[in-house]
Chain A
């Protein structure tokens, strides 16, 4: 059974900030506008749809996030060898961790690819995040010298 949901979102990014099927007075909607949040109403079968979604440009519906699909040329490399991660949209934030230690945070430029050289053995985890996309992870192992 569909219900009317009030959706409050940031107009510049279309990011959904909060949702309710409770009663929203004009005064409250005005207060939210003063706090920088735009408002729209949607008839929805379930409110889960607002998770991992953003408001469309026409502000009359919601759109599901796209998938980030980074591609790794080599998941395991030797010391001093390279691996390239491609298919990363510009503006993607990439957090590089070695074990539990964050060693770098990168913002992808227009090259949309990242070439890495293994200088220290270990398992390196990469987390990719970008607005309007599902987050993605991948890893590269740099083998110890035998």
Chain B
């Protein structure tokens, strides 16, 4: 039987070494089963890519459906990584720029009243941007929050000095890619 386990000095370096069956750990002919000098990567459980069109019709966002992991439920919420690009970032089918998850939202309500003429206009201006993702035990959902700028007038007794109504001005389509790792999330749901 070959020596298969060393905890200590092997060939001048201290560590834990395990060889494959019938392979001598002190002079291995095959890749070691475990080598404490090696940096272990994260096991990939599932991955995919796609497109989410720009939010429209005044919506602030657009979500994918729940994209299942090939092997079903993991029993824990997994670590994940999502990156995205805009359409203009794609050249010959490859992304030249990618962005990490982040999102912003602003809402400003304005009530403009002229005390002398009693002319009154109330409107709300919404701005949305970014991408977010939620990974559960069995599926990931990605949301395009690039809804752009929307101005809605909620009250007005004048036709002059009224802001222009806009809907999803500057909203953007995104192209996304995701990886689900076979380890439990340790980022508080933020992903890598």
Partner-B contacts on A (CB < 8 A): 5, 8, 15-25, 28-29, 31-32, 46-48, 50-51, 102
Contact = CB atoms under 8 A, between A and B. Distances in A.
Interface string B33-65: 000000000000010111111000000001011
Nearest to A39: B65
7 contacts: A17-B52, A17-B62, A22-B68, A22-B140, A23-B46, A23-B69, A47-B50
Contacts of B93: 46, 48
A29 B48 CA distance: 17
B77 interface: no
B70 interface: yes
Given A28-B65, A28-B68, A51 B50 contact: no
A66 B164 CA distance: 29
Contact of A47 (B51, B62, B66, B178): B51
Contacts, number: 68
Nearest to B65: A28
Contacts of A51: 51, 87, 173
A24 B69 contact: no
Contacts of B87: 51
B134 interface: no
B90 interface: yes
Interface in B153-177: 164, 166, 173, 175
B109 to A, nearest CB: 21
Query: Would you list the 6 A-B pairs with minimal beta carbon distance, nearest first?
Result: A22-B48, A20-B50, A22-B67, A28-B65, A19-B51, A23-B68
A21 B46 CA distance: 11
A6 to B, nearest CB: 8
Given A28-B66, A28-B68, A18 B164 contact: no
Contact of B50 (A15, A21, A102): A21
Contacts of A50: 51
A20 B69 contact: no
A115 to B, nearest CB: 24
A24 B65 contact: yes
B66 A18 contact: no
